[in-house]
Structures are given as structure tokens and as C-alpha cells.
Chains A and B, each alone.
Chain A
Amino acid sequence: MKLSEIIDVLDASIWVGEDQLDKEFSIAGAADLMSDILAKLAEGCIFMTGLVTVQSIRTAAVSGVGAVVFVRDKKPPPEIIEMAREEEIPLLSTPCSMFVSCGRLHASGLTGLDGSR
């Protein structure tokens, strides 16, 4: 699934990644606990979180996460947007809750980090 399709499915706004709209995704993970991403194979995933901190972006960067989505309409402050831009990690915000975000992406065919449906 392309980043552009994910934006549509989640009614998301895009802060970083306008130049990566064709980037492909097949796995997703949702976590407010950074170790849930750090201790998994999260390479290239969509990482949904309600935690808008610089550590969410650094966690994504060291884990090789493919894109970060802030749920429940949380808007990132400038320093977080800047960090995602430096790391070239697409950054989105969706008005959907964590539950609904996951449901929509699952219904669109994405799997969990371990490939399960």
C-alpha cells in the first residue's frame, strides 16, 4: 500500500514525506510503549502512536520505521517535524483513534509486524 493511500484511508494530514508518497508499506504496528517497537522487527513499518515526543521519532529512526502516524489528531510541534524531516521519515497525523486507525489499515490489507493478520 502506498503512503498516499494510507493518507486517504486515515484522512491524515502530512507533515513530512510529500516527496515519498509512492513509498510502499505492508506492515504496521501500534504502540505507546517504545520497547514494543524497539524489540521487534519494525523495519519499514507504519508506526502508529499517541505519544508525541522526540523519543517517538528517535525510536522510529533507530528501528528503521517507514512512517510515523500520530493518532487522535495530535499535532507535532516544530522540533518534532524537523527531526522527522532530518531523518527522512514520513510523519502523519490522523483524527482517528488508535483503534479505528488500526482497523482501517488492517481492513486495507496491512499485517502486523510479524506478518500476521
Chain B
Amino acid sequence: MAALRKTFRINKKDFIHAGEASISVKNLLKSLHVDTKLIRCVSVCGYEGEMNVVMHGGEGILSVEIDREKVILEISDDGPGIENIDLAMQEGFSTATEEQREMGFGAGMGLPNMKRNSDHMTVESEKEKGTQIRMSFSMADEKGE
């Protein structure tokens, strides 16, 4: 199967629609009969990433690439960037506002959760330029059990 690639926009500060891309990715993977556990990992990572773009980032893009061996998720935005990536990766670190916390987010668990749920993750960020996150998920891992 040739790689299938889809791209979705994530609109800046759009809390109401945030997560739609990940739901679409979930339903796409479901229609391709991908393993349920893998679907959960990919869609949870996508969702955490999308929420981060809306809460902390700028205008964003989520893209997914699916082939026989793996799923690749890329989430990028042109926001303020992550000042200290090592710190941001720590459980509990968050710069979320009081308002975002009241909406159920900002526990500082997003990036660590993305790392845990993907097989490989890279975070690149530059101040005032934005943030790019790339995660890969192996299909074989799940099926080999």
C-alpha cells in the first residue's frame, strides 16, 4: 500500500474545534482496520498535541502519514515556541492559565503522555518561530503480540 497522507489545519486559540483533526485521524485509522490499541495511542497523541497548539501555540497543522509499517504524526505551529524543551517534557510542568485549567487542561501531562504513547518522538522549537513535533508508531509492534 502506498503511503496515505492527510493534513488538517488547527486554528489558533480555537478551543471549541480543537481535537477535530485527531478524531478524523482516529476514524480514518478505524476505517483502515488498524489495531485498536494503536488507534488509541495515535489519537491520544494527536489530541494532546492539538490541545497544546490551541492552548500554547499559534496557527497549526496536523498531518498523518500511514503506510504498511507505521503511522507518522506531525504537529506544527507558528506560535511562541517552547522555551526549555527538557523542562516542558517533565510531568507536571505547565504554563497553562487558570482559565485553561478550569476547562480540564494544563496538568503538564501532555508532552510526557505523547512520549509514552509513541515509539519515537522528536520536539523542535524556536523562540517566536514555533514548534514541530513528530511522532512515529510502529504497526508491527502491535501485531507481533
Contacts and interface: CB of A to CB of B under 8 A. Distances in A.
Nearest to A49: B104
Contacts of A87: 23
B109 A54 contact: no
Interface stretch (A13-21, A56-64, A67-75, A97-105): A56-64
Contact of A35 (B18, B39, B107): B107
B23 A38 contact: no
Interface of B: 15-16, 18-20, 22-23, 26, 36, 39-40, 43-44, 46-48, 51, 103-105, 107, 109-110, 112-113, 116
A59 B113 CA distance: 14
B117 to A, nearest CB: 9
A62 B40 contact: yes
B103 A38 contact: no
Given A35-B110, A55-B105, A87-B23, 4 more contacts: A39-B112, A55-B51, A61-B43, A64-B40
A33 B107 contact: yes
